[in-house]
Amino acid sequence: MANVLVVGSGAREAAIGAKFLASPQVDAVFVAPGNDGMELLGLTPINLDVLDFEGLIDFAKAHVDLTFVGPEQPLVAGIVDAFEAAGQTVFGADRDLAQLEGSKTFAKQFMQRHNLPTAKAQHVESLAAAKQVLADWGAPIVVKADGLAAGKGVVVAQTVQTAQSALEHLYTQDAHAPALIEECLSGQEASVMAFFAGTQSVILPLSQDHKRRFNADRGPNTGGMGAISPASQFSTEQAAAARKLMLQTVAALEDEGMHGCGVIYMGLMFTAAGPKILEYNMRLGDPETQVLLPQIDNDFYDLIQNLLAGKQQDLRLNGQTYVGVVLTHPAYPAASKPALPVLVPTEQLLAGGEWIPAAVRNENGKLLSSGGRVLTLVAAGTTPQSARTAAYELVREYAGELAYRDDIGVHSLE
C-alpha cells in the first residue's frame, strides 16, 4: 500500500486527497498544511507550510511514495526541483515550467513563439510606456500586472479613465512594474486542464468557473465562486478546438526543452474568431477541480504514477455533470472575520464527496470558518439542470451563515 502527500490547504487539495484515498492502493493521504475539515474525509493534515521545502522533503522521505503539489506558490518557488534533487517522486511543474503561470509576459511570449492564439499584447515597464499604448489602442483595454496575484492583478477597463487609474495605481507602488497591456476580447470563458508528463497528456473535460463575487458576474474578482463541468454550452467542435490547443501547448513545451510533468490549465475565451488563450496556470483550478475529479473513473494513483512512468493513459469518465458551489464568508473577498459556524456534514454527504472543506477549523468539536472561501458543496446529475438543482438543495441545507452565488452553472442551461 502507498502513502501520498498533497501540498496545499484548500478545497482543491481536499478533492485531490480524497481522489487518491479512493484508490485501493492508497493507505493514507497527508495534506500539508491542509485544514481540520479534511479529517472528516479521512485525510491527515500535517502542520508544514507549503514553502517549508526542507520539512516537506523530510516528511516525504519518511512517510510517502508520491507527492502531488496543489497551489502555484510552491511550484513557482521551485518545490519540484527541490523534491527531485532529494530523490523524491513528485507530480508538479518545476520552476522553469511554472514560469508559464508565474510571469504573464513569459507566457505571452511563449504563445507568440508557437502561434498559439491569444490577445494582442504589449509589455511595458513604466507609466509613460503604458500610457502610450493606451493612447494608441484606446478602450476597452486590459491591464495585467506581471507575476502571481491570485487573480487580482488584472483590470478589464471599459474606459480610458479606468485603465489610466489602474496604471497609476500600479506604478505608484513600483515605478518599474512589469505589466502587459492587452487587447480586450469578448466571449464565454472556459477552463481546460490536463495532467501531463513529457509528451504524454490526459486532457480533462471543459469546465466553467465563476470568478466574480456576485450573481450575473458582478462585483470583484475572487479565487472562484463555483464551477460546472462538463460545460455543455460549448459544442463538440469547441471542445475539440480546446483539446487541440492543449496538445499544441504540450508539444511546444517539449520543443523548447521544457521537460517535466504536472498540470497545465488553460483559461480560454471562445471569441467570434475562435478560442483564445487568456492565461496558463501550472496547477489544477479551484473550484474546477472539485467538479472535474469526480468525473474520473480511473484509479487516480495509477493514473498519476503511470503518467510519470511515461505510459499513455486513457481517461475514463462517468458521464455525469457536476456543479460545485463555493460557500464563502459574507465579507469575502475582504477580510473574513469573525469566524462563523460551519454546519456539520452528515456521513452520507462526506461519503458522497459532496462536502469539500477549504478553510474549516475544528475547535473542540465545533466547526468554524478560518478563511474567505470556506467550503465547496458538489452535486452530480445526468444533466446540468439536475446537477444544479441537487447542488442548490445542499446549499440551502448547509450554507448557514455563509454566502454564495445563486447562478453557478446557469450558462450551461442556455
Residue 210 binds ligand AMP (CB under 6 A): no
Q: Is the peptide bond before 357 cis (omega within 30 degrees of 0)?
A: no
The one-letter amino acid at 130: A
Judged by beta carbon distances under 5 to 8 A according to partner kind, the member of ligand AMP, ligand GLY, none in contact with residue 55 is none
Q: How far is the CB of 121 from ligand AMP (least distance, A)?
A: 8
Helix, strand or coil, per DSSP, at residue 97: helix
Q: How far is the CB of 187 from ligand AMP (least distance, A)?
A: 9
Judged by beta carbon distances under 5 to 8 A according to partner kind, the member of ligand AMP, ligand GLY, none in contact with residue 288 is ligand GLY
Q: How far is the CB of 149 from ligand AMP (least distance, A)?
A: 8
Residue 279 binds ligand AMP (CB under 6 A): yes
Query: CB-based contacts of 261: which residues, under 8 Å, 6+ apart?
Result: 91, 92, 93, 196, 197, 198, 307, 308
Q: Total residues contacting ligand AMP (rule CB under 6 A)?
A: 15
Quick one: 288 or 354, whose CB is closer to ligand GLY? 288
Residue 354 binds ligand AMP (CB under 6 A): no
CB atoms within 10 A of CB 62: 8
Contact assessment for residue 391 and residue 323, using Cβ atoms and an 8 Å cutoff:
yes
Residue 154 binds ligand AMP (CB under 6 A): yes
CB atoms within 10 A of CB 237: 9
Instruction: Take residue 364 and report the three cell numbers written for it.
Output: 473542540
- Our CA angle for 307, 312, 314, nearest 5°, is 105
The DSSP 8-state label assigned to residue 410 in this structure reads G
- Residue from 19, 211, 283, 405 binding ligand AMP (CB under 6 A): 211
Query: Nearest to ligand GLY by Cβ — which residue?
Result: 285
Interaction with ligand AMP in 179-198: which residues (CB under 6 A)? 182-185, 189
Q: How far is the CB of 144 from ligand AMP (least distance, A)?
A: 6
Query: CB-based contacts of 238: which residues, under 8 Å, 6+ apart?
Result: 206, 270, 275
Report the candidate in 177, 182, 171 with the shortest Cα–Cα distance to residue 125. Answer: 177
Question: Exposed, middle or buried: residue 44 (CB in 10 Å: 0-12, 13-18, 19+)?
Answer: middle
Quick one: 131 or 210, whose CB is closer to ligand AMP? 210
Q: How far is the CB of 2 from ligand AMP (least distance, A)?
A: 35
Instruction: Take residue 85 and report the three cell numbers written for it.
Output: 534533487
The DSSP 8-state label assigned to residue 115 in this structure reads T
Quick one: 233 or 369, whose CB is closer to ligand AMP? 233
Quick one: 14 or 340, whose CB is closer to ligand GLY? 14
- Residue from 33, 147, 267, 274 binding ligand AMP (CB under 6 A): 267
Chain residues that interact with ligand GLY, rule: CB under 6 A: 151, 209, 224, 281, 285-286, 288
Quick one: 324 or 384, whose CB is closer to ligand GLY? 324
Q: Is the peptide bond before 294 cis (omega within 30 degrees of 0)?
A: no
Helix, strand or coil, per DSSP, at residue 356: strand
Contacting positions for ligand AMP (CB under 6 A): 119, 142, 144, 151, 154, 156, 182-185, 189, 211, 267, 278-279
